Structure 1
Amino acid sequence: MQFPTRIGVDPAGYILNQTSTQKIHPVYRELLNQILEMLKRCAGAKVHSVYIYGSVGRGEAVQGTSDIDLSVLLTSPLLPQEKALLDRETAALVHLNPLVPKVDYDMGVVAEVLKQENQFYWGFWLKHVCSCIYGEDLSVKWPRMKPDIRICQAMNQDLMETLAGYRKAILTKEADAYKLQSILKRIVRGAYCYVAVRDESWSTDIRENLQILQHYFPNEAYFREIEAVFLFQKPLNRDDVLSCLDYFITWFSEHSIEGKE
């Protein structure tokens, strides 16, 4: 691997969107149609548009293992009773369908999404991470972007809060093997944001992220240990993941995202 890798960008340096409606495997299409009908049933006319991201949108999903990840844009926030209904119906749908273990929603309100100050969060997200599967595609409102420190900062804006929540889940024994793996993925993706601009890349692959991180941080043993988990399916131990998590909570506070605004 040559560095900077420039993985995930075109010859001009613009980030490539790895998702596409054409990449969605046919086995997921019927389930997505059911989810869209459920969203409209629970939220009604508030549903402005829906976007797929993650492994299903990239055509890399593993049946029975991969979540369905959706960004849902609304004309106004859901009322508590609407949110409760959506949660119940989603849980029931997942329970009856062995295809996916979970359906995740990222909710946003259109007026907030379109604010200029959200270019490097929502603008980047819709333009370069998602593909529209329902409604008006707002990704066309934003320009193409190159790896940028402001994108990296936006993607990590809730990182410390998320890691604190993960820590609590481990301590209260609410974190199963699936959750433990998710914790390691979030650590890796968070750390990759610290070097993406320097590497002139935007990789969505955990193994690529780890290779890149080991180049720029050759003395960080935890990156090698995490790589062993994903390469060789090394068994996950709660205490080991907790130690790793505690280390990186400090690590993130001591390092700065590299790049120029």
Structure 2
Amino acid sequence: MLAQSQFEFQPDFQPAVEDALRFFKAGLGTNLHSVYVYGSVARHEAVSGQSNLDIVVVTHRPFEDNRTTLLNTIQWRFQRGFPHVKGLNVKLALAKEVASLESIFSWGFLLRQCSECIYGEDLGECFGDYEPSWEIAKFWNDDVAEWVKAYRLKVAKATTAAEQSHAQVMIAKKLLRASYSVVMHKHKRWIDSPVACGDAFLLSHPEKQLEIERLGILLSGRVIPKRSVVGLIDGFGQWLVKEYQRTEFKIG
């Protein structure tokens, strides 16, 4: 099924989505298969000055010869034309890779469950409705230990408030979503908003109220002392890694 020619997002982000679509249609021509928006913009929860625009671009064929130029150009356009958009995150994929059985937990889940097709044939329709399960939670959060290690270092090495704020927001999003993944198989419902993930997690782990509140502070972008951020990552982050491993052992 072809995506609707008209799509509507929040007023602050609608022009940015339209410009990105025009750019990829012009830059890729007949090689462009479809375009999708995911993340806070797709959920209509984006905040001006704080939220990224997350896009999936699917092509018929690889375009390695002009890939770097194309992506650098659109990043430059966004920095100049849409300064209220925190960043532009573009994922690239080939149509034949997306519409395959091997992609059921990766591209299939992302496009079917988390994205809105704004152009072309909606490959999300190749997949059936997903039931919340440990298998999906595990696939998308199996790297939580690596995130804890990497973002602990990023916070510690940040030399500007902007760098630290960005690192705080990124690790807060990951930990809040990963926390819900531990209990998602019990709740049997999809949640993507980091704040909502934390709230749902607390229904099963009310003893972690303080940690979730502190992750909410990191998520706001407010810079706080590094030792406090590192302490939260070391404490709650490592607890979450162990809880994740324990749940995997129980469920298998």
User: Which band: TM-score by shorter chain?
Assistant: 0.7 to 0.9
Per-residue CA deviation, residues 235-261 of structure 1 (Å, 9 max, x unaligned), is 533332222223345334312347868
Q: Is the 8 A contact 2:177 2:197 kept in 1?
A: yes
Match of 2:33 among 48, 52, 75: 48
Q: Which residue of 1 aligns with 2:94?
A: 109
Q: Secondary structure at the match of 2:40?
A: helix
CA RMSD of aligned residues (A): 2.8
* Larger relative contact order (Cα-Cα within 8 Å, sequence gap ≥ 6): 1
Match of 2:215 among 220, 223, 226: 226
Q: Alpha carbons of 1:138 and 1:185: their partners in 2 closer, same or farther (altered >3 Å)?
A: same
Structure 1 residue 195, shift from structure 2 partner: 0.7
Q: Is the 8 A contact 2:33 2:60 kept in 1?
A: yes
Structure 1 residue 212, shift from structure 2 partner: 2.1
Does residue 71 (structure 1) correspond to residue 60 (structure 2)? The answer is: no
Does residue 236 (structure 1) correspond to residue 224 (structure 2)? The answer is: yes
Match of 1:139 among 124, 143, 164: 124
Q: Alpha carbons of 1:141 and 1:155: their partners in 2 closer, same or farther (altered >3 Å)?
A: same
Q: Secondary structure at the match of 1:239?
A: helix
Q: Is the 8 A contact 1:53 1:129 kept in 2?
A: yes
Distance 1:50 1:184 in 2: 28
Distance 1:253 1:60 in 2: 28
TM (norm. structure 2) is 0.81
Distance 1:200 1:65 in 2: 30
Tell me the percent identity.
25
Match of 2:158 among 157, 173, 177: 173
Query: Which residue identity does 1:203 align to in structure 2?
Result: I
Per-residue CA deviation, residues 207-240 of structure 1 (Å, 9 max, x unaligned), is 3222222232233342243245568x86533332
TM (norm. structure 1) is 0.79
Q: Alpha carbons of 1:224 and 1:115: their partners in 2 closer, same or farther (altered >3 Å)?
A: same
Q: Alpha carbons of 1:91 and 1:237: their partners in 2 closer, same or farther (altered >3 Å)?
A: farther
Does residue 185 (structure 1) correspond to residue 170 (structure 2)? The answer is: no
Q: Secondary structure at the match of 2:84?
A: coil
Query: Which residue identity does 2:183 align to in structure 1?
Result: V
Q: Secondary structure at the match of 2:224?
A: coil
Per-residue CA deviation, residues 51-70 of structure 1 (Å, 9 max, x unaligned), is 11122112222223221111
Q: Is the 8 A contact 2:58 2:92 kept in 1?
A: yes
Q: Alpha carbons of 1:253 and 1:75: their partners in 2 closer, same or farther (altered >3 Å)?
A: same
Structure 1 residue 141, shift from structure 2 partner: 0.5
Structure 1 residue 129, shift from structure 2 partner: 0.5
Match of 2:200 among 212, 228, 238: 212
Query: Which residue identity does 1:150 align to in structure 2?
Result: E
Q: Which residue of 2 aligns with 1:202?
A: 190
Q: Secondary structure at the match of 1:255?
A: helix
Per-residue CA deviation, residues 12-50 of structure 1 (Å, 9 max, x unaligned), is xxxxxxxxx755124433322221222234444433211
Q: Which residue of 2 aligns with 1:92?
A: 77
Q: Is the 8 A contact 2:31 2:59 kept in 1?
A: yes
Distance 2:235 2:75 in 1: 35
Q: Is the 8 A contact 1:23 1:58 kept in 2?
A: no
Q: Alpha carbons of 1:44 and 1:170: their partners in 2 closer, same or farther (altered >3 Å)?
A: farther
- The farther-off stretch of 141-150 and 164-173 is 164-173
Distance 2:150 2:62 in 1: 24
- The farther-off stretch of 132-141 and 102-111 is 102-111
Q: Which residue of 2 aligns with 1:253?
A: 241
Q: Secondary structure at the match of 1:196?
A: helix
